[in-house]
Amino acid sequence: MRYTLKSSRSQQSLGNLVSKKEDDAVSHNRVLIFDTTLRDGEQSPGASMTKDEKLRIAKALEKLQVDIIEAGFAIASPGDFEAVKAIADGIQNSIVCSLSRAVDADIDRAAEALANANAGRIHTFIATSPIHMQHKLRLQPDQVMDQAVRAIRRARNLCADVEFSCEDAGRSDIDFLCRIIEAAIDAGASTINIPDTVGYAIPHQFGEMIRLVIERVPNADKAVFSVHCHNDLGLAVANSLAAVAAGARQVECTINGLGERAGNAALEEIVMAIKTRQDVLGVHTGILTENILGASRLVSGITGFPVQPNKAIVGANAFAHESGIHQDGVLKHRETYEIMSAQSVGWHTNRLSLGKLSGRSAFRSRLDELGIELPGEAELNLAFARFKELADKKQEIFDEDLQALVSDTLTDVIEHVKLVFLDVASRTGETPEARIVLSIDGEERQASAQGSGPVDATFRAIEKVSPSDSTLQLYSVNAITKGTDSQGEVTVRLEKGGRIVNGNGADTDIVVASAKAYINALNLMQTGAYRAHPQAVGV
């Protein structure tokens, strides 16, 4: 069976970029942002996401105006296939891409998942370094080249937009790299990606390598050159920018730098470096930077990977000035110590947004201002009811509270297990004890348990009522806003038979937030909304 993609937009946009006729300053200086949070990002151990979560992130990426969204690796599992398909079906304004090895079955499966995409791309790859070809593929360089060319031709028959990656290009022989890239472009690849798969490159050396490849490949003008850098030496962003300076016009990156091992280049850092230092780099992206923080929070909330406070752009302290001299300078003239404005990446002034007496329309209009869209009236009503409950407990409701609350409301999980009542006793010198009542498919059941702390006791009590036979892999709690009346946002990661789920919960009482997160994880497991780790597919 053949699946022909619509692909009109990707054909046009990429066509414009590579066309000599369109070789004007604008197209030449535009760096395409290819986001791989949903594919390489998800390969972070423990960062796997459900289809619904992926779709929510894809929508946030579309709002960010990311050029290409790598939605997954369609052949990896039925869950991956469904997620790529749902994103291809639901995204209109970004190109949606699926990864595939350079083998027929992968390429066909990618095309099938992308069949309804407004603009689809097949991304096929094969390793080109001596160490990978010899030990992993057990192929001679010419065999690798033949396999790559065959795969690209097959992909081109199914999709107008094909990207080819030379895996481990960073450790590949440059002459072989140039030969295989020339053949790949002749076979129909319109984007050539040069990954530093193992994070081995050093900026000036990687930049020089990109410059040499573009210079030596005779048909280089017929493709967009891309880079994909891993962060093993903490150099992913620096290497990507060196490549841009040398002529790369697509950067592959992830929100918050999520990704295999030490992660990928962080989208927010790449984009803001390009924007802030346009004087040096002379290029621009199409990213709507005001939406960066929202996307970062969404990814962090869904994956349970907190953002470190001193993380560039999206860390809580990224725009905080502690020293008196700095504070004085910023008050007199912001640019004394700030190279970009907090607002330009989505930080608001953390202002009090709503209170206990605020009505439904004020609530709705604040959500609008924050760019939060709820699917319908039912979700708005539910979110508003939760807001009222929260306003009873917490005097000041900040934007971050609203974001967490809406995130809870949108969690599209059937609640087999619900929290009815929780009573926790924790005193100095005594063993903490929790008594819990849960509703399991409508029937109330209760249990008590002791633990080393109140959260441990609560989790044990939940397990007595609703045994899951799972292992707790991660428990993390973060204050959503400042102040001791802040809501705590808890992530609980459970693993069972190689399958992983991340449950989230928020409440001003962190033990209640913990119970909610644990119960959310149990519900995710029961509804089958979990998936095997993508690495299980092997290469």
Binding site for Zn ion (CB under 5 A): 40
Least Å distance, CB 186 to ligand KIV, is 21
Cβ nearer to Zn ion, comparing 38 with 517: 38
533 is in an annotated binding site: no
How many C-beta atoms lie closer than 10 Å to residue 317's C-beta? 11
Cβ nearer to ligand KIV, comparing 97 with 515: 97
User: Is 165 a binder of ligand KIV (CB under 6 A)?
Assistant: yes
Least Å distance, CB 392 to Zn ion, is 47
Least Å distance, CB 265 to ligand KIV, is 11
Cβ nearer to ligand KIV, comparing 167 with 507: 167
State the Cα–Cα distance between residues 450 and 442, nearest whole angstrom: 26
SS in 3 state form for 409-426?
Answer: HHCCCCCCEEEEEEEEEC
User: Is 80 a binder of ligand KIV (CB under 6 A)?
Assistant: no
State the Cα–Cα distance between residues 492 and 476, nearest whole angstrom: 7
165 binds, among Zn ion, ligand KIV, none (CB under 5 to 8 A by kind): ligand KIV
Cβ nearer to ligand KIV, comparing 242 with 367: 242
Cα distance from N-terminal residue to C-terminal residue, the chain: 24
Cβ nearer to ligand KIV, comparing 193 with 502: 193
Give, in degrees to the nearest 5, the angle at Cα 328 between 325 and 329: 85
User: Is 197 a binder of ligand KIV (CB under 6 A)?
Assistant: yes
User: Is 312 within 8 Å of 318 (Cβ atoms)?
Assistant: yes
Q: Sign of torsion, CA 34 39 43 44? A: positive
Cβ nearer to ligand KIV, comparing 103 with 340: 103
Least Å distance, CB 179 to ligand KIV, is 19
State the Cα–Cα distance between residues 194 and 181, nearest whole angstrom: 10
User: Is 199 a binder of ligand KIV (CB under 6 A)?
Assistant: no
40 is in an annotated binding site: yes
264 is in an annotated binding site: yes
Least Å distance, CB 194 to ligand KIV, is 9
Cβ nearer to ligand KIV, comparing 267 with 438: 267
Query: 């699946």: which residue's tokens?
Result: 3
SS in 3 state form for 440-462?
Answer: ECCEEEEEEEECCCHHHHHHHHH
Residues 82-121 that bind ligand KIV (CB under 6 A): 99
Cβ nearer to ligand KIV, comparing 70 with 182: 70
Q: Contact with ligand KIV (CB under 6 A): which of 54, 132, 228, 249?
A: 228
Cβ nearer to Zn ion, comparing 230 with 297: 230
User: Is 167 a binder of ligand KIV (CB under 6 A)?
Assistant: yes
**What is the token pair recorded at 534?**
């993508």
**Phi/psi-derived region of residue 282, left when phi > 0, alpha when psi is between -120 and 50, beta in every other case:** left
Site string (282-321) toward ligand KIV, x via CB under 6 A? ----------------------------------------
Q: 105-124 burial, b for 16+ CB within 10 Å, e for fewer?
A: ebbbbbbbbbbebbbbbbbb
The enclosing H or E element of 478 equals strand 471-479
Least Å distance, CB 268 to ligand KIV, is 19
Q: Sign of torsion, CA 339 343 347 350? A: positive
Residues 177-196 that bind ligand KIV (CB under 6 A): 193, 195
73 binds, among Zn ion, ligand KIV, none (CB under 5 to 8 A by kind): none
User: Is 125 a binder of ligand KIV (CB under 6 A)?
Assistant: yes
Least Å distance, CB 154 to ligand KIV, is 18
Least Å distance, CB 519 to ligand KIV, is 35
Phi (first) and psi of residue 340, to 5 degrees: -150, 160
Q: What is the DSSP string of 185-241?
A: HHHT-SEEEEEETTS---HHHHHHHHHHHHHH-TTGGGSEEEEEEB-TTS-HHHHHH
Question: β-strands 120-127, 162-167: how paired?
Answer: parallel
531 binds, among ligand KIV, Zn ion, none (CB under 5 to 8 A by kind): none
Least Å distance, CB 446 to ligand KIV, is 48
State the Cα–Cα distance between residues 250 and 225, nearest whole angstrom: 6
- The count of chain residues that interact with ligand KIV, using the rule CB under 6 A, is 10
State the Cα–Cα distance between residues 114 and 122, nearest whole angstrom: 8
326 is in an annotated binding site: no
State the Cα–Cα distance between residues 247 and 465, nearest whole angstrom: 60
For the annotated binding site, the residues are 40, 228, 230, 264
Judged by the rule CB under 6 A, the positions of this chain that interact with ligand KIV are: 40, 99, 125, 165, 167, 193, 195, 197, 228, 230
For the annotated binding site for Mn(2+), the residues are 40, 228, 230, 264
